[in-house]
A and B are shown apart, each in its own frame.
Chain A
Amino acid sequence: MNHATAVKENQSISVDSRAGKYLTFFLASEEYGVEILKVQEIIERMPITPVPLTSKYILGVINLRGKIHPVMDLKMKFGMDPTRMTEETCIIVIKTSALMMGVLVDKVSEVVNVASDDIENTPSLGTDVNTEYLLGVGKAGGRVRLLLDIEKVITASDIIHLKKAAETSVPEPKAETI
């Protein structure tokens, strides 16, 4: 999170802080990367208990060795189609100083070392695409990997839905039947 702001301020200065090992995974056909240090573990998909009144992209909660952690569908979070469960679908458990959360991805790819020379700043893509979650773009080995600021992704404040519903006072579709 700090990386991005630091970069904006000093475009020309080295981007060392973003270099390092990344775990890469696929969302549809796009390859993304998260800093390996923030990855707690990768688990197979398991039964997820939905939690009412949360955002659509929050799939629910799972039991990870006796602790309960929320799981989000990363594709829905980024405005893509919901993830279809396949054999390769899995949950990457992200651990930050503040919280732990699982993110559902289509397929885990590999661990790569991204050197600072290979990192480019995210180009401005217009208003359609929200690039605030991107640290930059890694281009090692001729492949484009979108490096995620995962901490920013999972600490987004729109997890609980009710507040919104109450504030807007426009009845949600599901409330209309009441």
Chain B
Amino acid sequence: MNLNNLAISLIELDPENLSDLDAFKKNLVLSKGEARGHLKDVLEQACAEVDAWSGQDLESRQAGIVRLGDLLEQAMEFRGGNLSAVKPEKPQDVPPQTAGSRNFTLSRDFDSDLLNEFIVENMEVATMAESAILDWEKDSGNQELLNTIFRGFHTIKGTSAFLNLDCVKDLAHHVESMLVRVRDGQDNFTRGHADLALKSLDMIKSILERMKSSGPGQQIELPLGLEEMHEALRIFISNIRNSKVNDQSAERADLPGFKELLAQKNGETLPDQPWVVSQAPEPVVESTVRVKIDRLDKLLDTVGELVIAQTMVGQDELVVNGKNHELNKKISQAEKIVRELHDLSMFLRMVPLKGTLQKMVRLARDLSQKNGKIVKIITEGDETEIDRNMVDMLADPLVHLIRNAVDHGIEMPDERQRLGKSSESRIYLTAGNAESSIILTVSDDGRGLSRRKIVDKAMAMGLIDSAERMTDQEVWQMIFHPGFSTAEKVTEVSGRGVGLDVVCRAVEALRGRIEVQNSEGQGCAFIMKMPLTLAITDGMVVKVGSQRYILPTGNIQKALRPAESDIHTVNQRAEMLSFRDELLPVFRLHRLFNISDAKTELISGLLVVIGDGQECCALFVDDLLSQTQVVTKLLGKGINNVPVVAGGAIMGDGTVGLILDVTGIINMARQRLNVTT
């Protein structure tokens, strides 16, 4: 039997219950039998201790348990917690370990709706508790925060008990009992408390995640490390208990975070505490209603239709040429309301970025602890809202940027001191709106990008021959190249050169752009700018024959009427346009789409220079009709994956307009060219 298990069963031991004591003794003797050397001696002592119990009264038994705890601890030091490599069979009377089984089956009786609600609700509670823990860490005296955390775990415990989810319930219970002691002043807060609470939340969340993907009656595999988590919690609590009995101050000082705590208590101010999430105003209580997303989408559709219907009424001949002044007034009044409704409905899907930023704070915290760096992360603009569908897509690039900042950007504390910087570094994570886009910035005050290193690496990779004529901005752009990394060593989290490539792609998928601002030795900033929502596309309506298409404005670099001298042909078939000293292939939309009534003379039409960030080409269309903002919709199922069409939109006249996918067009044009040449 594992020493850890022994220690745990010791903690759970009820000194009044003699049969329990017997069971424990049996285990102890078993362990002793397997032990060798000094370990055996220690366990021998322990056995003697237990033997004495049966004749003793309750109090001396209790004292005996404490002594036994010490002995076991000694024993653990010898063998790092493992008695023997051979896995012993589990005695039957091991304390009830709900986490013992790797799998867990959801009862068939659960209503799947109920289950879903439970998951959603507890996810929310867990997130809330997580954010409270992070705040609590910097302000451990705050009873209100502690109570919030407490309530969170309590809710999780309560609801999961209701659903017989023992694995979740027990975990929450243990954390609760750990926190109770802090709340009641029996223990002082330590970093360890926060660590364990956060890790438990992760575990609970991961169990919930697993439940989400399965239904009632299905088996769920419990996440790895759940048992260890339980043990860690028990041992943590027992450590504190034991330390109470033993020399208190000495033991305590060893607990992680205790010194910080003392320091914090003495000086009221908190600047030394790294984990400050500042600029967090007092929580605003907003009442919300949870609405199913498909209902919301339906509402948006209907409002969109209403706008079109309204426009049709407004443009009706009878109204436009009519003499009925009263009617016109009423119609314009209605139109105003409809517009307002439309604007309003667009914002229904917006959610604040708070949750996402919170995750990043947590990530930076964990990473810097691992790396031994002191990082203060400051978030700003929690309340900035963004389309719900984009939130998940945003998390990836942020994770990579934060990792990069902590892992590569920020120097070790001693190095920072040598450089004359404060040993505590800062990462700013700010979000804000500008016009109709959102701007997210991740900046740090670390060592920044090194132009020399990047250029060397780029030359080594054969990306460039010389960097003499390159601007800084051009040099920085190279770090987004796949496989590019100047890190000398690959670590667990970064240095493989994948990260920034991922960031770049994710931002592009969000129709955004990324910029780098750098000052070597002082830090660097990544600025991401993207539209507020993917639901609305800014586009240009182009005409090809009798067809109209929408080209996303973000992909358009320039539209121009070509002169004869700008056009060059290859083999009399392929055409090229000279544009800003470059030769771009010309693709005729009417040929790609087989439209017969379009203009065929390049100089009589329009060339639109488009690019997807990687490649550029010139697209030949008849004319540019207008600029528009449209609500992006999927084409009906079955026709959804036409490679050149990104989606559809309802135009002002009620017909469907197609939004073109620039990358798809370029790819297709290439293919065609290959096929025919």
Contact = CB atoms under 8 A, between A and B. Distances in A.
A166 B656 CA distance: 28
A36 to B, nearest CB: 21
Interface string A134-169: 000000000000000000001100011010011001
Nearest to A60: B656
Contacts of B594: 52, 174
Given A174-B594, A177-B591, A51 B673 contact: no
A154 B637 CA distance: 11
Contacts of B641: 160
Interface string A59-71: 0111101111110
A155 B639 CA distance: 10
B362 to A, nearest CB: 40
A99 B642 contact: no
A79 interface: no
Interface string B659-677: 0000000001001110110
B633 A162 contact: no
B591 A49 contact: no
Given A61-B639, A69-B636, A160-B641, A53 B593 contact: yes
A175 B637 contact: no
A101 B675 contact: no
A102 to B, nearest CB: 9
A47 B548 CA distance: 13
A155 B657 CA distance: 24
Given A47-B655, A169-B675, A68 B638 contact: no
Contacts of B657: 49
A90 interface: no
Which of B591, B635, B641, B673 counts the most A-chain CB atoms under 10 A from its CB?
B635
Contacts of A177: 591
Contacts of B638: 70, 98-99, 101, 154-155, 159
Interface residues of B, number: 37
Interface string A88-100: 0000000000111
Which of A66, A154, A171 counts the most B-chain CB atoms under 10 A from its CB?
A66
B636 A51 contact: no
A119 interface: no
Q: Is the interface of B mostly helix, strand, loop or mixed?
A: mixed
Given A67-B633, A70-B638, A162 B668 contact: yes
A70 B635 contact: yes
B573 interface: yes
A44 to B, nearest CB: 13
Contact of B658 (A49, A69, A174): A49
B636 A63 contact: no
B643 A53 contact: yes
A14 B675 CA distance: 53
Given A50-B547, A66-B305, A175-B675, A58 B639 contact: yes
A99 B636 CA distance: 7
B655 A49 contact: yes
Which of A52, A155, A162, A176 counts the most B-chain CB atoms under 10 A from its CB?
A52
B301 interface: yes
23 contacts: A47-B654, A47-B655, A50-B547, A61-B639, A63-B654, A63-B655, A65-B302, A66-B650, A67-B301, A67-B633, A68-B636, A70-B636, A99-B637, A100-B637, A101-B636, A154-B638, A160-B639, A160-B641, A162-B642, A169-B675, A174-B594, A178-B673, A178-B676
Given A67-B633, A68-B635, 19 more contacts: A49-B655, A51-B639, A52-B594, A52-B642, A53-B644, A61-B656, A65-B305, A66-B302, A67-B636, A70-B638, A98-B637, A155-B638, A162-B643, A166-B671, A169-B675, A174-B594, A175-B591, A175-B672, A176-B676
What are the 6 A-B residue pairs with the smallest beta carbon separation, nearest first?
A66-B301, A99-B637, A52-B593, A69-B636, A174-B594, A70-B639
